[in-house]
């Protein structure tokens, strides 16, 4: 961006651009995952990561009837963080895990060097409706664990934090002095925040960058209104975030120390280079031992070779 044409508040110092002050708002891309409409909030063309968070899908919506079936598919180099607002989903993976997840619970799968999982929406008597409203996030693993063993965790209960104007469930990491039991390999956190009316005051760490994705209602900060389908990004250096939200509004707040590397992402793979992704694609296509198999009735998902190979 040309400085002369930039009125966002950013300036160059010795050729190094500083982050613009304030809130940077970007649009989600519409996508489809297993038959359910999703808003892909992250990555953005100009913003690949927020802390170690590298992918945010907001799937379905309040009361939105859906039927999600995602057959066995591989992952490398990431953690999947699954959080339901409505609905009921069965997770199966190549570690032998078989876990139903319900609203208020967290599934966290660490891919390490390779894992396979399937996700299917259940419509049992326990499900309150046929609706699906969910968030799936990915965390890029650091060098130390991205080639390591796969793992799976389910957390039926998560800690809550009360703030002026809101209450938060700590999904991952530490927030406002409360720490989730879920595994973290880098310094990052994620919370689900509900407005209880009145201005919300959110404590932040100045070392963290942050993002807000509204999943229900709307929130306003510093003159910027955030609604579902958008990502609001706040750079490092802030120790507090003030939000105004209609009572009952709900948003996901993510943060963390800026990720030191640029992940190379293609399909379900988070790596550092095209070569690594090509190797993963070949191993999955050949059903190599690296990925194992899932006891699912759904068909495994295959995709054509990455574009750089043709
Ligand atoms: Mn997946």
Angle at 199 between CA 204 and CA 162, to 5 degrees: 60
Angle at 21 between CA 172 and CA 50, to 5 degrees: 25
What's the gap in Å between 268 CA and the centre of ligand 1? 7
What's the gap in Å between 138 CA and the centre of ligand 1? 9
What's the gap in Å between 39 CA and the centre of ligand 1? 16
Q: What is the pTM of this model?
A: 0.91
What's the gap in Å between 144 CA and the centre of ligand 1? 22
Which tokens in the block code for residue 155? 């957390």
Which stretches of the chain score pLDDT less than 50? Answer: 1-20
pLDDT of residue 15: 40
pLDDT of residue 55: 97
Neighbours of 43 (CB within 10 A): 19
pLDDT of residue 33: 85
CA-CA distances (angstroms) from residue 267 to 144, 186, 254, 277, 308? 22, 23, 22, 9, 13
What's the gap in Å between 203 CA and the centre of ligand 1? 32
List the one residue out of 91, 84, 41, 40 whose CA is nearest residue 69.
91
What's the gap in Å between 3 CA and the centre of ligand 1? 41
**Burial classification of residue 239, based on how many CB atoms lie within 10 Å of its CB (0-12 exposed, 13-18 middle, 19 or more buried):** exposed
pLDDT of residue 68: 84
What's the gap in Å between 87 CA and the centre of ligand 1? 17
pLDDT of residue 5: 26
What's the gap in Å between 118 CA and the centre of ligand 1? 7
What's the gap in Å between 75 CA and the centre of ligand 1? 7
Residue 191 near residue 253 (C-beta atoms within 8 A): yes
**Burial classification of residue 232, based on how many CB atoms lie within 10 Å of its CB (0-12 exposed, 13-18 middle, 19 or more buried):** buried
Enumerate long-range contacts of 154-158, CB under 8 Å, 24 or more apart: 154/97, 154/99, 154/101, 154/105, 154/106, 154/107, 154/108, 155/105, 155/106, 155/108, 155/180, 155/181, 155/182, 156/105, 157/104, 157/105, 158/104, 158/105, 158/106, 158/182
């Amino acid at each position: 961006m040309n400085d002369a044409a930039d009125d966002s508040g950013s300036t160059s110092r010795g050729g190094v651009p500083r982050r613009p002050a304030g809130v940077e708002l970007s649009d989600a891309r519409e996508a489809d995952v297993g038959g359910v409409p999703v808003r892909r909030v992250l990555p953005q063309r100009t913003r690949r990561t927020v802390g170690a968070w590298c992918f945010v899908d907001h799937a379905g919506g309040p009361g939105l009837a859906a039927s999600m079936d995602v057959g066995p598919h591989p992952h490398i180099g990431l953690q999947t963080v699954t959080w339901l607002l409505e609905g009921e989903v069965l997770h199966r993976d190549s570690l032998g895990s078989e876990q139903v997840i319900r609203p208020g619970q967290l599934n966290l799968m660490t891919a390490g060097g390779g894992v396979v999982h399937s996700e299917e929406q259940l419509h049992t008597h326990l499900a309150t409706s046929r609706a699906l409203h969910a968030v799936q996030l990915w965390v890029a693993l650091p060098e130390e664990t991205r080639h390591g063993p796969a793992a799976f965790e389910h957390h039926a209960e998560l800690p809550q934090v009360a703030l002026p104007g809101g209450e938060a469930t700590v999904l991952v990491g530490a927030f406002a002095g409360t720490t989730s039991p879920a595994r973290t390999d880098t310094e990052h956190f994620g919370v689900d925040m509900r407005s209880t009316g009145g201005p919300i005051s959110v404590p932040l760490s100045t070392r963290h960058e942050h993002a807000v994705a509204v999943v229900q209602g709307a929130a306003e900060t510093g003159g910027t209104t955030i609604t579902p389908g958008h990502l609001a990004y706040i750079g490092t250096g802030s120790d507090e975030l003030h939000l105004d939200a209609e009572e009952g509004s709900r948003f996901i707040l993510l943060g963390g120390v800026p990720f030191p590397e640029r992940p190379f992402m293609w399909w379900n793979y988070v790596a550092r280079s095209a070569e690594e992704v090509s190797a993963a694609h070949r191993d999955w296509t050949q059903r190599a031992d690296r990925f194992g198999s899932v006891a699912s009735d759904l068909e495994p998902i295959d995709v054509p070779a990455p574009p750089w190979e043709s």
